[in-house]
Structure 1
Amino acid sequence: MTVLNVAICQAAPIPLDFAGGIEKATRLAREAIEGGAQFVAFGETFLGGYPLWLDEAPGAALWDHPGSKALHAIMLDQAIVPGDERLLPLQELCDESGACISLGAHERVRQSLYNNQLLFRPGEAPLDHRKLVPTHGERLIWMRGDGSTLGVHQAEWGKAGNLICWEHWMPLARAAMHNLGEAVHVAAWPTVREEYALASRHYAMEGRCFVLAAGLVQHRDDLFDGLERVGGSSEALELFNAIEGEALNRGMSLIAAPDARVLAQAGEGEEILHAELDLSEIGGGLASLDTDGHYSRPDVFELNVDVRAKDGVVFSS
């Protein structure tokens, strides 16, 4: 297969309401697949919505803030868990269509929340990628991932993988992923502002792969709607009321080729962005730049990647 049809579902999440988010993601992914897509991507934490209050609500980071505590409790209660049966509609869609779906979600493991970009693939369990370093205020809610979820999926047309947001400015994470030989890479963002677009196109050029830079569309009113869906909280409502502005994540998703040119560009609203990828471009581009091969210096630089799961507690007899 030398031609791959892909799509980004640039859409508004349903904040806090994971059941509603799964239904919407399945519906949009099906629409993209019926439109010809063999690979579909959604933005960062589409399930649960990006936690806008961390950046937009004054005081959200203050110690013991009632609104932040209330929202954290809701997220823990709502978040997906490993092997979550609520995700079966997405898995079934992959199985019946043969397509892959990359979807961001808040995930609960024991008592901690992770930022996970799940890669659903036909006939196999979803591939996890838990964000290695939550950025700035995100550390208030998310645990750091480990090397056990730094991997790729082998499809019939090539390999596919994910990184999340500012991981694209982690040079060693990029080097590790380039070594794994991605043909298609999902760069998941809350919104693809100018510097995020640059990072995504740079990744495509450096890794000689196609990049789906997937963003969300989020408005202030969405937060109130999501909160109402999960039963509400007066403390969280007060926090949301302190947020100024209306359009907080503006989409602007793009699809980039291995030479960094933009193949498709979305606007600021909800849309499904399609592109046709000529996978034969990858081999041609490697002639001049192969950062994991002839443009590397393994005699000078060596990267060790620890892919062991780090649970922190080991019970042994």
Structure 2
Amino acid sequence: MSSIRVAAVQAEPVWFDLAATTEKTITLIAQAAAGGARLVAFPETWLPGYPGFIWGQSALEQLPLVALYRSASPTVDGPEIAAIRAAAAAHEISVVLGFSERDHGSLYMAQAIIGADGELLLHRRKLKPTHVERTLFGESDGSGLAVVDSPLGRLGALNCWEHMQPLVKFAMYAQHEQIHVAGWPALTSPGTSLLPQLSGGACLTLSRAYALEGSVFVLVPNQLFPRDPAMADATPPELCALVYGPDGSIVSEPIDPDVEGIAYADLDLSAVSVAKTFADPVGHYSRPDVFRLTVDRTPRPVVRLEGPATEPPPAEVPEEIASA
């Protein structure tokens, strides 16, 4: 099988500016396609940028920024996502996009898998926002735990600490995923950089573990955050955009962790089969007689409205009856 060129974006969004970040997204899609990529991946909540303020401010202090952030978050059927889908079709490239999804009064940490024809192949939401993220974002049901059978291979995506949840990962492995996008936030934003569990090194460890456990290629896009020049030597970036192979090795071209760019890799999906000859977690290396996992992927709407939305209009009375 011929190789598939993929791209993991490393860039800074135009913070909380939806129109400008959408325009930048379209530019990066064109750039990745010009570089020969057939798939390009963006970080968690790339649109309109990760809300790092939730980690360093009280709830009351956040209110003005929360209002701004909500207004800058797109809807899945809005013009910004439509423009990105059109760009994917124009450049014949698949896109995995992380965005803060606004759905009426709530926000969700969403991901979209868009085909090279612009079709929305998967729209999913993060199952459990991490720690203080739950003050801003809602939870999802299991309907988004899906792997897409695309022309590039079996493609899936998760956000951030979903990669720390063993059962979530196993649900994805069980669908024989071949290419995975690990969406992470801006990990040098205020607050997150002080938590070892949210360090760039920890997130790369989890991403590499996913590649090894699932015998899957893992794309790790990176959202840059401006760093204080005075702290540059003390807090060097640990996370950079890269691609792991199913054996856990880095298969992408090197990229400077301090600058915007795109990490490219050429994937040979036969490497997935080779890796699984050693350990297939949902095949010969499993023990279904000892362990079983049930995953409920039923959509769970909060309200199910039944029946007509309005009363039916009264039937017209025939003229001969009305005049009798």
Shorter-chain TM-score bucket reads 0.7 to 0.9
CA contact 2:241–2:262 (8 Å) conserved in 1: no
CA contact 2:93–2:116 (8 Å) conserved in 1: yes
Higher strand share: 1
Counterpart pick for 2:222 among 199, 206, 215: 215
Is 2:295 the partner of 1:300? no
Q: How does 1:181-192 map to 2 (within 5 A)?
A: 181-190=176-185, 191=187
Q: What displacement does 1:110 show? A: 2.2
Q: Deviations over 1:231-250 (max 9, x none)?
A: xxxxxxxxxxxxx9788977
Question: Could you tell me which residue of structure 2 aligns to residue 272 of structure 1?
Answer: 262
Which structure's relative contact order is higher, taking Cα pairs within 8 Å and 6+ residues apart?
1
Question: Could you tell me which residue of structure 2 aligns to residue 38 of structure 1?
Answer: 38
Q: What displacement does 1:7 show? A: 0.8
Residue type of the partner of 1:199? L
Counterpart pick for 2:244 among 256, 261, 270: 256
Is 2:295 the partner of 1:309? no
Is 2:75 the partner of 1:81? yes
Counterpart pick for 1:98 among 88, 92, 95: 92
Q: What displacement does 1:216 show? A: 0.6
**C-alpha separation in 2, matches of 1:144 and 1:215:** 23
TM-score, normalised relative to structure 2: 0.84
Q: Deviations over 1:51-75 (max 9, x none)?
A: 11122x3xx234xx1x411222222
CA contact 1:251–1:269 (8 Å) conserved in 2: no
CA contact 2:201–2:239 (8 Å) conserved in 1: no
**C-alpha separation in 2, matches of 1:156 and 1:36:** 16
**C-alpha separation in 2, matches of 1:250 and 1:52:** 17
Q: What displacement does 1:148 show? A: 1.2
CA contact 1:250–1:268 (8 Å) conserved in 2: no
Q: Structure 1 pair 84/250, CA: closer, same or farther in 2 (3 Å)?
A: farther
Gaps of 5+ in 1: 222-243
**C-alpha separation in 2, matches of 1:155 and 1:248:** 37
Q: What displacement does 1:283 show? A: 0.9
Is 2:212 the partner of 1:205? yes
Q: How does 1:1-317 map to 2 (within 5 A)?
A: 1-55=1-55, 57=56, 60-62=57-59, 65=60, 67-123=61-117, 124-190=119-185, 191=187, 193-219=200-226, 251-264=239-252, 265-266=254-255, 267-317=257-307
Residue type of the partner of 1:28? L
**C-alpha separation in 1, matches of 2:108 and 2:166:** 22
CA contact 1:216–1:249 (8 Å) conserved in 2: no
Residue type of the partner of 2:296? D
Q: Deviations over 1:86-106 (max 9, x none)?
A: 222321222233321111110
Q: Deviations over 1:200-246 (max 9, x none)?
A: 1110111111000111101269xxxxxxxxxxxxxxxxxxxxxx978
CA contact 1:2–1:157 (8 Å) conserved in 2: no
Task: Compute the RMSD of aligned alpha carbons.
Answer: 2.1
Gaps of 5+ in 2: 188-198, 308-324
Which SS does the other structure have where 2:81 is aligned? Answer: helix
Moved over 4 A (4+): 244-251
Percent of aligned pairs sharing the same letter: 35
Which SS does the other structure have where 1:160 is aligned? Answer: strand
**C-alpha separation in 2, matches of 1:168 and 1:274:** 22
Which SS does the other structure have where 1:263 is aligned? Answer: coil
Q: Structure 1 pair 105/249, CA: closer, same or farther in 2 (3 Å)?
A: farther
Residue type of the partner of 1:48? P
Q: What displacement does 1:259 show? A: 0.3
**C-alpha separation in 2, matches of 1:18 and 1:314:** 32
**C-alpha separation in 2, matches of 1:249 and 1:108:** 31
**C-alpha separation in 1, matches of 2:263 and 2:47:** 19
Residue type of the partner of 1:40? V
CA contact 1:217–1:249 (8 Å) conserved in 2: no
CA contact 1:10–1:251 (8 Å) conserved in 2: no
CA contact 1:2–1:280 (8 Å) conserved in 2: no
Q: How many corresponding residue pairs?
A: 289
Q: What displacement does 1:84 show? A: 1.4
TM-score, normalised relative to structure 1: 0.85
Structure number with greater Rg is: 2
Q: Structure 1 pair 248/309, CA: closer, same or farther in 2 (3 Å)?
A: farther
Q: What displacement does 1:2 show? A: 3.4
